[in-house]
Amino acid sequence: MKTFVEFITEDKNTHLEHLEDDIIINGVAGGENALKFLESLRDMLAGNSSKKMSLTVKWDGAPALFAGTNPENGKFFVGGKHIFNKVPKINYTNADIDANHSGGLADKLKIALKEFSKLGIPGIWQGDLLFTPSDLTSETIDGESMISFRPNTITYAVPSNSKLAKKINKAKIAIVWHTTYSGDTMDSLSANFGADANKLSKTSTVWSTDAGFSDESGTVTMTSGETDKFNNMLNMASGSLKKAKSYLKVLEQDRDEWALSSNLKVFFNSQIRTGAGIRDTKRLVSDFEKYYNKVLMKKIDSVKSDKAKKKYMEIMKAGLKEYQKYKNPLYFVVASYITLRVAKDMIVHKLNQIKSSVSSFLKTSDGYKVTAPEGFVAIDHVGGALKLVDRMEFSRANFTAAKNWG
Segment 246-268 shows an average pLDDT of 94
- pLDDT tens readout for residues 335-365: 999 999 999 999 888 888 776 778 888 888 7
- pLDDT tens readout for residues 325-341: 999 999 999 999 999 99
Residue 254's pLDDT band (cuts 50, 70, 90): confident
- pLDDT tens readout for residues 201-235: 999 999 999 988 765 445 577 888 999 999 999 99
Task: Count other C-beta atoms under 10 Å from residue 406's C-beta.
Answer: 12
- Round the average pLDDT of the chain to a whole number and report it: 87
Residue 7's pLDDT band (cuts 50, 70, 90): very low
Residue 51's pLDDT band (cuts 50, 70, 90): low
pLDDT at residue 398, rounded to an integer: 54
φ and ψ at 364, to 5 degrees? -120, 175
Residue 137's pLDDT band (cuts 50, 70, 90): very high
pLDDT for 6 beyond 70? no
How far is the C-alpha of 231 from the C-alpha of 216, rounded, in Å? 26
Segment 147-153 shows an average pLDDT of 94
pLDDT at residue 5, rounded to an integer: 32
Residues in the chain: 406
pLDDT for 34 beyond 60? yes
pLDDT at residue 405, rounded to an integer: 46
- To the question of pTM greater than 0.85 for the whole model, the response is no
- pLDDT tens readout for residues 261-300: 999 999 999 998 888 889 999 999 999 999 999 999 999 9
8 Å CB contact between 333 and 247: yes
Segment 21-34 shows an average pLDDT of 95
Segment 117-127 shows an average pLDDT of 97
pLDDT at residue 376, rounded to an integer: 79
pLDDT at residue 381, rounded to an integer: 61
Q: Classify strands 173-182 and 206-210 as parallel, antiparallel or unpaired.
A: parallel
Q: Where are the alpha helices (DSSP H) in 101-193?
A: 103-116, 163-170
φ and ψ at 109, to 5 degrees? -65, -35
| CA end-to-end span of the chain | 34
343: Cβ contacts below 8 Å, ≥ 6 apart: 38, 230, 233, 234, 237
Strands ordered across the beta sheet of 155-159: 137-141, 144-149, 155-159, 359-364, 367-370
Q: How far is CA 189 from the centre of its chain?
A: 21
pLDDT for 62 beyond 90? yes
User: Could you give the dihedral angle defined by the CA atoms of residues 141, 145, 146 and 147, in that order, rounded to the nearest 10 degrees?
Assistant: 130
pLDDT at residue 52, rounded to an integer: 58
pLDDT at residue 32, rounded to an integer: 96
pLDDT at residue 40, rounded to an integer: 85
- pLDDT tens readout for residues 64-116: 999 999 999 999 999 999 999 999 999 999 999 999 999 999 999 999 999 99
8 Å CB contact between 22 and 35: no
Please tell me what DSSP assigns to residue 217.
Answer: T
Segment 129-154 shows an average pLDDT of 94
Domain residue limits, the chain: 4-57+219-349, 60-210
How far is the C-alpha of 38 from the C-alpha of 52, rounded, in Å? 13
Residue 8's pLDDT band (cuts 50, 70, 90): very low
Query: Kind and range of the H or E element at 231?
Result: helix 224-243
The rounded percent of the chain whose pLDDT value lies above 70 is 87
pLDDT at residue 369, rounded to an integer: 77
Segment 9-29 shows an average pLDDT of 77
Q: Bigger pLDDT: 143 or 129?
A: 129
* Residue at 168: amino acid letter: I
φ and ψ at 66, to 5 degrees? -120, 140
Going from the C-alpha of 241 to that of each of 227, 247, 251, 283, 331, the distances in angstroms are 21, 10, 13, 19, 10
When mean pLDDT is compared over 7-16, 120-129, 141-150, 183-192, the highest value belongs to 120-129
Going from the C-alpha of 138 to that of each of 111, 165, 261, 282, 366, the distances in angstroms are 22, 11, 48, 48, 18
Side-chain-side CA neighbours of residue 193 (13 Å): 30
8 Å CB contact between 229 and 4: no
pLDDT at residue 1, rounded to an integer: 32
Residue 388's pLDDT band (cuts 50, 70, 90): confident
